[in-house]
Amino acid sequence: MFSLIPARVRPRAGLACLVAMTMALAGCNAGNAAASAPPPPEVGVATVATRPVQAWDEFNGRVGAVDNVSLRPRVSGYIERVAYREGDEMKQGDLLFVIDPRPYRDALASAEAQLARARAASGLAQTQAQRAQTLIDAKAISREEFDSRHADLAQTGADVRAAEAAVATAQLNLGFTEVRAPVAGRAGRALLTVGNLAQADQSVLTTLVSQDPMYVYFDCDEHSYLRYQALARSGARRDGGNPVRVGLADESGFPRQGTVDFLDNQVDPATGTIRARALLRNPDRALTPGLYARVQLPGSGEFKALLIDDRAVLTDQDRKYVYVLGPDDKALRKDIVPGRLIDGLRVVESGLAAGDRVIVNGTEKIFFPGMPVRPQIVAMDAPAAVAAPAAVAAK
């Protein structure tokens, strides 16, 4: 079959077909690109919290007992009985050790016999002195003999008092053979057991530490100390009785409450610190002398602050910034000056205003300022609530 179109017209028709096909393909690609564009990422947004707060300074400390006694015997002798169970909590006056009392019982009996002898001699001397008074009035004895009998009376009286003191000492020594708890507290292991010789004022029998209340000792640096002194002068802080919060190594936060009851009288020039002590209750007996403790002390008076979740703070070299939700749900960058952490939230000293909505979760999905986002409103004081959307979005 032969074409009726002239040969010189055919190239133009082919070119027109090629242009039409190219435009059709371009239209298809544009439609596919528009269809495959991802939606804006989902982020957690919270309004800046504004409330009165108080800054707390944190220090490292050690738990110490109010009473810590190394128990020593007051008399020497062999241990006859250990009367307590090691590790038990004892009351004041509870019996702990018994030292062989027989030598001290015999010493008491001897002292009592000496006292009886002295009293008998004193009685005889008193009778002779009375008789001498009658005879001297009748001039039947010499003045020298009269004075001698009165001297005997005074001497026997002194002997009686010495014998009474010896009896009292013997009674004390016999009582000291029973070693009792001088304070209430938990008793340690018995360092001397039955049959061992205990030397008076030398041998350590056991240790006894009180349990409730307890001390926590911590060292405060001199810059903080000077700041506290300035607060005290301004009336924002007391010199004593300031509250402290304490947490142990296995505790989250600072669940224990106490007060500062002692501040040393000088700064250690070697360390630049001053020793302070807090007193707190220990009803659960969790505090044991020697334990590490974290201590928080009020570092300022109460002030009004802007607070944000610390996870919202990002770093750009030496600058700190956050993303806030702007018009049309776009993420806008704002440079800030952050302060200290208070109750898990970061104080913002400048850069934000009350009412700003900060992106606290999902900032890793924002690639440039002005990027559209899909906000999900969360509470600023509950940053954990935005963890679930982030996990879902990552899948």
CA angle 146, 150, 156 (to 5 degrees): 145
- Give the chain as a 3 state SS string: CCCCCCCCCHHHHHHHHHHHHHHHHHHHHHHHHHHHCCCCCEEEEEECEEEEEEEEEEEEEEEEECCEEEECCCCCEEEEEECCCCCCEECCCCEEEEECCHHHHHHHHHHHHHHHHHHHHHHHHHHHHHHHHHHHHCCCCCHHHHHHHHHHHHHHHHHHHHHHHHHHHHHHHHHHCEEECCCCEEECCCCCCCCCEECCCCCCCEEEECCCCEEEEEEEEHHHHHHHHHHHHHCCCCCCCCEEEEEECCCCCCCEEEEEEEECCCCECCCCEEEEEEEECCCCCCCCCCCEEEEEEEEEEEEEEEEEEHHHCEEECCEEEEEEECHHHEEEEEEEEEEEEECCEEEEEECCCCCCEEEEECHHHCCCCCEECEEEECCCCCHHHHHHHHHHHHC
pTM greater than 0.75 (yes/no): no
- Pair 268, 351 in one domain: no
Which CATH number is 329's domain given? 2.40.420.20
Please give the Cα distance from 29 to 31 (Å, whole number): 5
Determine the structural domain holding residue 352 and report its residue range: 42-53+304-394
pLDDT per residue as tens digits for the range 282-336: 999 999 999 999 999 887 767 788 888 888 899 988 899 999 999 988 999 999 9
Residues contacting 234, CB < 8 A, separation 6+: 301
Residue 27 clears pLDDT 70, i.e. is over it: no
- Pair 190, 122 in one domain: no
User: 190, 208, 226 — which closes off a domain?
Assistant: 208
Confidence of residue 384 (pLDDT cuts 50, 70, 90): very low
254 in a structural domain: yes
Please give the Cα distance from 358 to 44 (Å, whole number): 8
Q: What are phi and psi of 82, to 5 degrees?
A: -100, 115
pLDDT of residue 29: 52
6 in a structural domain: no
Please give the Cα distance from 46 to 178 (Å, whole number): 69
Q: Which amino acid is at 332?
A: L
- Pair 219, 238 in one domain: yes
Residue 115 clears pLDDT 80, i.e. is over it: yes
- Pair 202, 108 in one domain: no
- Pair 312, 352 in one domain: yes
pLDDT of residue 393: 32
Token pair, residue 306, equals 């802007």
83 in a structural domain: yes
The arithmetic mean of pLDDT across residues 381-389, rounded, is 43
Mean pLDDT of all residues belonging to the chain: 84
9 in a structural domain: no
- Pair 316, 334 in one domain: yes
pLDDT of residue 171: 96
Token pair, residue 273, equals 């610190």
pLDDT of residue 56: 84
User: 301, 323, 358 — which closes off a domain?
Assistant: 301
- Pair 247, 291 in one domain: yes
pLDDT of residue 279: 95
C-alpha separations of 264 from 138, 248, 366 in Å: 77, 24, 53
- Pair 89, 194 in one domain: yes
Question: Minimal CA–CA distance to 73: which of 96, 43, 106?
Answer: 96
Given the structure tokens 């009778």, which residue do they identify?
127
Sign of the torsion formed by the C-alpha atoms of 292, 296, 299 and 304: positive
352 in a structural domain: yes
Given the structure tokens 């001199």, which residue do they identify?
222
- Pair 274, 356 in one domain: no
325 in a structural domain: yes
172 in a structural domain: yes
Could you tell me which residue, 358 or 12, shows the higher pLDDT? 358
Rg (CA), the chain: 45
Confidence of residue 23 (pLDDT cuts 50, 70, 90): low
The arithmetic mean of pLDDT across residues 355-366, rounded, is 89
| Number of independent structural domains in the chain | 4
- Pair 203, 82 in one domain: yes
pLDDT per residue as tens digits for the range 77-94: 999 999 999 999 999 999
162 in a structural domain: yes
- Pair 79, 200 in one domain: yes
Residues contacting 386, CB < 8 A, separation 6+: 44, 46, 360, 361, 362, 376, 378
- Pair 91, 183 in one domain: yes
